[in-house]
Amino acid sequence: MLPHLKLEPGDLPEYVLFPGDPGRADRVGNRLDDRTDLASNREYKSILGSYEGHPVGVVSAGIGAPGAAIAYEEAIKAGAKTLIRIGTTGSLNREKVDSGDLVVVSAAVRDEGLSRQHLPVEVPAVADLSVTNSLVSAADDLGYPYSPGTVLTTDAFYAGRESLDREVLREAGVLAVEMECAALFTVAMIRGVCAGAVLAVNGDASKDKHIINKAISREIDVALEAIVRLN
């Protein structure tokens, strides 16, 4: 048995969605036919079902690269071959993306520690092209506004005394900041599987709760429709 997800090899299908929040995993699970709750341990909740006849797994990965990477690694051992992160992100450029918008992630700036213990910093953390194209196609067909581009993956949620020059990153076209994509893309690259991500921009949750909730529903729609296209 895999020690953290509490799954066995073969328990997950090829396509698996990765929200951070176990509650959001339930939200995805409620969209699936023939839902089966597989396991729940720590922040990791695993669900199996189908969408339009295609088997789909859901695994909540928690917050931050190290814990999320455990979910990615063990999900791969349990059968996942295409991993899609669905989560929230903060905007680095409100002229391009703001609360309630979607970002289809093409690559991630590696400002976290996990990926640096796997690959040299010169190797970029890049999403799989076929997964990214399927997410873009799904968003287009659904009529949901989105921006494709690069995000910043970092470890620190709250600012300390040291940080990257985010103004330089913004000027370079980095759209948003989050905590897991670089780990996801790096793990997928070294394990020989496919990965992508679609994220909902989360601004001031106290003011924009309805807008953000709608964006989360939309990113789930996009990810599920992308699986149909990949099949």
Average pLDDT over the chain, rounded to an integer:
95
| Structural domain boundaries, residue 111 | 15-230
Q: Is residue 136 part of a domain?
A: yes
Cα separation of 87 and 63, whole Å?
A: 10
78: CATH: 3.40.50.1580
**Of all helices (H) and strands (E), which one includes residue 167?**
helix 166-171
Structural domain count of the chain:
1
The predicted-structure confidence for 39-48, as pLDDT tens digits, reads as follows 999 999 999 9
Cα–Cα–Cα angle for 177, 18, 74, nearest 5°?
115
CA 48 – CA 175 distance, rounded (Å):
32
- Stretch 199-216: mean pLDDT, rounded? 83
Residue 1 pLDDT > 60, yes or no? yes
Whether residue 9 lies inside any domain: the answer is: no
Over range 186-215, report the average pLDDT: 89
In a domain, 10, yes or no: no
**Cβ 178 vs Cβ 125: under 8 Å:** no
pLDDT at 209: 84
pLDDT of residue 206: 55
The answer to whether residue 207 scores a pLDDT higher than 60 is: no
Contact 100, 201 (CB under 8 A): yes
* Three-state secondary structure call for residue 200: strand
Average pLDDT over residues 20-37: 98
> In this structure, is residue 1 part of a structural domain?
no
Average pLDDT over residues 184-206: 91
pLDDT value of position 98:
92
pLDDT in tens, 100-138: 999 999 999 999 999 999 999 999 999 999 999 999 999
Domain assignment present for 4: no
Check if the beta carbon of residue 183 is closer than 8 Å to that of residue 70: no
Res 150 pLDDT > 70: yes
Q: Is the pLDDT of residue 162 over 90?
A: no
* Residue 47 included in any domain: yes
Give the per-residue pLDDT at 204.
60
Region 144-170 average pLDDT: 90
What percentage of the chain reaches a pLDDT higher than 70? Answer: 98
